[in-house]
Amino acid sequence: MIFGRLGRLWPIVVMGAGLCFVVPPFMSRGKRGLGALFIPGLPVLTTGAILFLASVFNAWGIWEWLWPMLIISLAMGFVFAAIYMRNIWLLIPAGIIVGNGLLFTFYAITDWWRLWAILWPLEPLWIGSVVLFTLWLAGQGDRGRQVARHLARTAIRPLAITIPIVVVLGAIFG
C-alpha cells in the first residue's frame, strides 16, 4: 500500500463533502432556505460514516445490513429541513421515507425478505396515514405547527439511535 494504514481513511473525504452540506445552515441561522441542504447532506455524511467503518475495520460486509441507514438518513434530512425551514409539508416525504427505511432495515437485518409478500399492504396504509396526519396538522393552524415541530424534534432521537441498534443487531444476526 502506498499510504499504509492511512490509506484506509479515504472515507473522511466523503464525510467532509457531507459536512459541506450540513454546516452552512448552522453558520447562517437567518437563511431558512439553507435547511434544504440537510436533505442531501445527511445521506452523504451517513455514506461516509459507513464507508469509514468498513474501511477502517476492513468489514465491507456491513453494507449487507447497513444500507437502509442511507434511506433513514434521507428521512432525517427531511426532518431537519422541516424543523429548520419551518415547513410542515416536508413531514410527508420524511414520514414516507422513514417508513420505507424501517421496513428495509427489518428485512436487511433479519433476511426475511419473503415477508414482503405479506407486509406490502403496510406501504399504502403508511403513506395514506402520513399524508392524512400532515393534512390534519396543517388544518390545526398554530397549534398544528407546534405539534409538528414537537413531533419532528421527537422523531430525531429514535432515528438517530437506529444506526447503533442496526449495527448491534447486524453483528448478532449477520
Residue range 49-71: mean pLDDT, rounded: 90
pTM tops 0.85: no
DSSP string spanning 87-121?
A: -GGGHHHHHHHHHHHHHHHHHHHH--GGGHHHHTT
CA distances from 60 to 13, 53, 56, 69, 173 (A): 18, 8, 10, 15, 16
> Residue 110: which domain range?
4-173
169 has a pLDDT exceeding 70: no
Whose cell is 424534534? That residue is 153
Q: Supply the pLDDT for residue 162.
A: 67
